[in-house]
Structure 1
Amino acid sequence: MLVTEERVNILNVADELSMMILQSDVVEEYYQRLYKLRNDEKAIRLIKKFVKQKEKYEEVHRFGKYHPDYFKVIKETRELKRQVDLLESVYEFKKAENALQSLLDEISVLIGHAVSPHIKVPTGNPYFESSSGCGGCSGNHGCSS
C-alpha cells in the first residue's frame, strides 16, 4: 500500500473524529456510569451471583426440561437477571452504553453514505438499516444496485 497525501489526510481526519468522539458528552457519560457501576458493591455482588447462576443455567439447559432442576434453575436465573437489571447503576450504565452505540452507529452510517448511498453499514439497529431505502444488510430484498 502506497502512502499518499490523500491517505495521510484521511487518517488525520479519522484521528480528529475519534478525538471528538472521545471528548463528547456521550462518552463522558458512559465512563461516569461505568465508574459508578464498578464501584457499586451491591451490583458487583449481584453480577457475580448472576454469573454463577448462569453457569448452572447453561449446565441445566444442555439437558433441557429433562433435567430435574430445569424449571427451578430457569426461574431463579430470570429472577436474578431481573434484580440485576433493576439496579440503578446497571440501568444507567446500559442507558449510557446504548447512547454511545447509537452515536457510533450514526457516525458509521454518515461515513458509509458519504462514500455511496448504496454502502451497507451493519449497525444492528433496524432504524439505520432501513433508512438507506433498501432495508440494509439484513433486509433480504435482493438489492438491485
Structure 2
Amino acid sequence: METLETVDMAELILESHELSMMINHSREVSEYLTAKRRMEQDEEAQRLLTLFEQKKAQYEDVQRFGKYHPDYDHISKEVRQLKRAIEMLDSVQQFKRAEGNLDMLLYQVGRTIADAVSDSIKVPSNNPFLEAKSSGCGTGGSCGCSTKKTS
C-alpha cells in the first residue's frame, strides 16, 4: 500500500524531471551551447585565452610582491589589455550574452520554486542586483536597510 507521501514524492520527481527537460530544450540553452561552440572554434579567441592564462599566471606571481615587483606595472597592463581584447571579440560577446540569458532563466525558475515554498528563501544569482532585490542587502540589515518585507 502506497502512502500519500510516496505518491507526492514520485509526482514531484516526475515534475522536476519534466522541468529539467524543458530547461534543457529551451531557447536559452540552445543559444548558450551554440555560442559556446562558436567561441571554442574561434581561433583568435582560443589564442588570446591561452595567452591570457599564461599572463595571468605571471600576474599572480607578481601579485605576491605587489607594486614593489619590478614587472608589476608592465604585467598588470598586459593582463588588462588582453582581457579587453578578449571581451571585444564577437564570439566572446555572444557567449557572455547567451550565458547571461541562461543565468536569468535559471534564476527565474529557482525564484519561482523558492517563492512557492517561502518568501524568505534566498536564491543565488550571478547578478548582485537580483540577489539584493530579492533578499535585502544580505547583511541582515546592518547597513541600515530594512530586511523586512512589507505587505
Instruction: With the length of structure 1 as denominator, give the TM-score of the two structures.
Output: 0.89
Report the counterpart of residue 12 of structure 2 in structure 1: 10
Please state how far the C-alpha of 1:123 moved relative to its aligned partner: 2.1
Report the counterpart of residue 99 of structure 1 in structure 2: 101
Tell me if 1:135 matches 2:141: no
Q: What is the CA–CA distance in structure 1 between the aligned matches of 2:39 and 2:61, rounded to whole Å?
A: 28
Q: What is the CA–CA distance in structure 1 between the aligned matches of 2:44 and 2:126, rounded to whole Å?
A: 31
Tell me which amino acid in the other structure corresponds to 1:141. G
> Deviations for 1:3-37, whole angstroms, at most 9, x for unmatched residues?
71111111111000000001110110001101101
Q: Which secondary structure state, in structure 2, belongs to the residue aligned with residue 4 of structure 1? A: helix
Aligned-residue sequence identity (percent) comes to 42
Partner residue of 1:68 out of 46, 67, 70: 70
Aligned pairs, how many?
Answer: 142
Report the counterpart of residue 81 of structure 2 in structure 1: 79
Tell me which amino acid in the other structure corresponds to 2:17. D
Report the counterpart of residue 22 of structure 1 in structure 2: 24
Gapped runs of 5+ residues in structure 2? Answer: none
The ranges of structure 1 where at least 4 consecutive aligned residues each deviate by more than 4 angstroms after the TM superposition are: 142-145
Cα 1:144/1:71, change in 2 over 3 Å: same
